[in-house]
Amino acid sequence: MSNSSLSHERDVLRFTDILPGLLALPLKLPSFFRMFKAIILILMGKGLASVGAHIENNAKKHPDKVAVFFEDTRLTHKEFNEKINQYANYFLSHGLEKEDVVVVLLENRPEIMMIIAAMAKIGCIASLINNNLRGDALAHSINLTPKKMFIVGEELINSFEDVKEDINKNDNMPLYFLTDKGDMEVPEGYIDLSIQIQGASVNNPETTSQIKMSDKLAYMFTSGTTGKPKAAIQQHFKWISSSIYLGYLNMNMKPDDITYVAVPLVHNTGLLLGWATAAINGSAIALRRKFSVSNFWLDIRKYNATSFVYIGEICRYLINQPPSKEDKNNPVKKILGVGLRPDIYKDFKNRFDISTVVEFYGSSEGTVIFSNLFNIDCTMGIGLVPYSVVKYDIDSEGPVKDENGFMQKADKGEPGLLIGKLMNADDFNGYTDKKATAEKIFRNVFKEGDTWFNTGDFVRNIGFYHAEFLDRLGDTFRWKGENVSTTEVEEIINTAHYVSGSTVYGVEIQGTDGRAGMVSIIPTDGIDNFDFKNFTGILKQSLPHYAIPIFLRFKKEFETTATYKIKKAGLKKEGFNINNIPDPIYVLLPKSSEYCLITNEIYDEIMNGKHRF
């Protein structure tokens, strides 16, 4: 194993690891046939090649079956499609045309699915704004794309009003208001969309048949590996391919399946892994406005959900709850998502009696896709498109190159940067920002003229075309001449029962090279019950010396993104400066056996170089 990585339960896959998956392949033959049939029909021009076509097909085949559960509302496929048609036909009658951009600012509720689908039937592009954004970040995202109109939900009207003056729009641009709980009157200057669509036709619009897989479906907003939000282009192709591949082959979705979705539909985890995967075979979605750890299993049982979509943080929150005799009392058999960490992977499956975990890897703008087709624990699955893992230098923050200027492939078991082959750089959609798109493309990688997509992710090639996710490169830091993976350190720390949650990052110490490890922790029972001696012992036993965090900060909660990922940028910037941080901060001083509270005296000594780390 490379000395630049921490020890792992498994460095590379053995044939015995994939054998159970191979033996199970015959059971997937019906799913294979359904998938290939769908692909062949699309190639013949007779298949379901757009989001709208799928929805209309489900309404025809499963008219009376529930399509969407939400709170106490149930919509059949027929009702769902007819409501979508009212939106589509209304906007068509008011001049909306193919490729017009509509800004959508809504939380998870059936109406956001209806709006996205209505725009898809027309051929318009739904600009799906992250509903957690506020202020400058919100205005920035809205201004990234051209727009024809706005649809703003009652639940987010105040956020929109705060930035309305900073948004690029003309006075004739319609502002549509979509009521939510009915607690607010329609604001001045807005059109009540709920009232407007009531007289619109419920029939399928003719435009649905004119939509191609290559047409744009939506804009999603991502920072990629760094920087301000960028508008990533999503085509109907992504929704369709996710629906066919994940829905048929990986998840074997059937009409009686119900998928619980508590992640935002304005992100691909919700839109593609949740909605698209369920839609392939008339399965239902049980939608929740926002994730709630206390209501999660109550909802699962309420809706009798057979699957759910996860992100790793959700699984972490769930497993951190006190064990209950009801843990296995759930109907879930299969789950699909991203980022289930190795330190809880098996425990999560066993505790909640979940037999199949389809870990997935992809990104809003990316071309590289992995999925856990063989149901192998603790991997992100098998690569589905041409990819490579190349050696990466953390210090220079770039790929290692040979004497000819070409990148070098990482050995099996060695960590490196994941890149994806581009057949033609001009075919890479990327972002609406051409400069940002260009920055994601590597040229002349292994030979003159070849082009590759830079995922910005640090992975390990573990053999048999499988990979293990390690970190976002921005989170991997170098200390004492060694690379430290924050993910791996977090996995060790999170094994302590008195740790409810943690996040690891590198911070600068004046007079030293690289970045020292720092961990922010939410203690399970408060600082007074935190076992410092045991904690230090776990770290020293499980981690090489250079990976042990120097600094320890206690917090009550973490600031997270819309998909519950912890925001580290602010924590890194704050570092261990006790003069600007109200939280208690501890330090593991050189030659010390235990963490001690940083006082003003100790802080000054660190800053003056008295302690040589």
Question: Helices marked H in 522-576 — which ranges?
Answer: 532-542, 569-574
- Can you name the residues that pair with 478 across neighbouring β-strands? 483
Instruction: Measure the CA–CA gap between 60 and 38, rounded to whole angstroms.
Output: 17
Instruction: Measure the CA–CA gap between 328 and 350, rounded to whole angstroms.
Output: 9
Of 168 and 408, the one with more pLDDT: 408
Q: What are phi and psi of 157, to 5 degrees?
A: -65, -35
Q: Domain 48-236: state its class.
A: alpha beta
Residue 221: what pLDDT? 81
Residue 137: what pLDDT? 75
- Can you name the residues that pair with 418 across neighbouring β-strands? 389
Instruction: Measure the CA–CA gap between 363 and 139, rounded to whole angstroms.
Output: 23
**How many other CB atoms sit within 10 Å of the CB of residue 373?**
20
Of 465 and 43, the one with more pLDDT: 465
Query: Nearest CA to 583 among 554, 606, 610, 604?
Result: 554
Residue 524: what pLDDT? 93
Residue pLDDT, tens place only, 266-294: 988 999 999 999 998 899 999 999 999 99
Residue 463: enclosing H or E segment and its boundaries?
Answer: strand 451-463
For residue 238, is pLDDT > 50?
A: yes
Through-space distance between the first and last CA atoms of the chain, rounded to whole angstroms: 27
Instruction: Measure the CA–CA gap between 401 and 399, rounded to whole angstroms.
Output: 6
Residue 214 CA to its chain's centroid (Å):
23
Of 131 and 119, the one with more pLDDT: 119
- Can you name the residues that pair with 569 across neighbouring β-strands? none
Residue pLDDT, tens place only, 25-34: 888 888 888 8
Residue pLDDT, tens place only, 441-482: 899 999 998 999 888 888 999 999 999 888 777 677 878 767
Strands 334-338 and 101-105: what pairing? unpaired
Residue pLDDT, tens place only, 77-121: 999 999 999 999 999 999 999 999 999 999 999 999 999 999 999
Quick one: pLDDT band at residue 337, thresholds 50, 70, 90?
very high
Q: What are phi and psi of 474, to 5 degrees?
A: -65, -15
Query: Is there a shared CATH topology between the 48-236 domain and the 476-607 domain?
Result: no
Query: Nearest CA to 421 among 457, 393, 469, 454?
Result: 454
Residue 110's contacts (CB-CB under 8 Å, 6 or more residues apart) are 68, 70, 73, 75, 80, 83, 287
Residue 565: what pLDDT? 77
Name which of 206-220, 273-287, 541-555 the model is least confident about.
541-555
Instruction: Measure the CA–CA gap between 446 and 427, rounded to whole angstroms.
Output: 20
Helix, strand, or coil here: 49?
coil
Strands 585-587 and 551-554: what pairing? antiparallel
- Residue extents of the structural domains in the chain: 48-236, 476-607
| Structure-token pair, residue 70 | 């939400």
Rounded to two decimals, the pTM is: 0.81
Burial class (CB in 10 A: 0-12, 13-18, 19+), 123: buried
Instruction: Measure the CA–CA gap between 294 and 317, rounded to whole angstroms.
Output: 10
**How many other CB atoms sit within 10 Å of the CB of residue 505?**
24
Instruction: Measure the CA–CA gap between 454 and 435, rounded to whole angstroms.
Output: 14
Of 231 and 350, the one with more pLDDT: 350
Architecture of domain 476-607: 2-Layer Sandwich (3.30)
Residue 182: what pLDDT? 85
For residue 211, is pLDDT > 60?
A: yes
Residue pLDDT, tens place only, 480-528: 767 787 887 898 899 899 999 999 999 988 877 778 999 999 999 989 9
Residue 60: enclosing H or E segment and its boundaries?
Answer: helix 51-61
